[in-house]
Amino acid sequence: MKVIKLSDYQVFSIDKMKKNNIFQTHRFFCDVYCFEPGQEQKGHIHGEQDKVYLVLEGQGIFQVGTEKQILGPGQGTMAPAGEEHGVKNESGQRLKVLVFVAPNP
């Protein structure tokens, strides 16, 4: 059994949003995305994958389809396959997001 400590997967990069992989199989993956202030994951589409975002810390602007909403700690959303989605950290604080994608692209 693989047991992890979530804090070990919360690494940031000054260059761009950092994806920290926790678990991965051929059916799904789980990452922690870490955003410094001003960083973003530009809107994009996964044709066959669903994505779940759960905010661990901070707040960000989450886009799913044509909707955008600010989410904070304990809040989350899902981007179904085929829907454009992205995240932007316009706050002055770091943003940490737990992400699940299935099936693994």
Domain around 54: 15-60+99-105
Q: Is the pLDDT of residue 54 over 80?
A: yes
Average pLDDT over residues 71-94: 97
pLDDT of residue 105: 72
d(CA 6, CA 3): 10
Query: Residues 34, 41: contact at Cβ < 8 Å?
Result: no
- Predicted TM-score (pTM) of this structure: 0.95
Asked whether residue 90 is domain-assigned, the answer is: no
Asked whether residue 70 is domain-assigned, the answer is: no
3-state DSSP assignment of residue 8: helix
Q: Which helix (H) or strand (E) holds 40?
A: strand 40-44
Q: How many domains does the chain have?
A: 1
Asked whether residue 66 is domain-assigned, the answer is: no
pLDDT > 70 fraction of the chain, expressed in percent and rounded: 100
Looking at the chain, how many residues does it have? 105
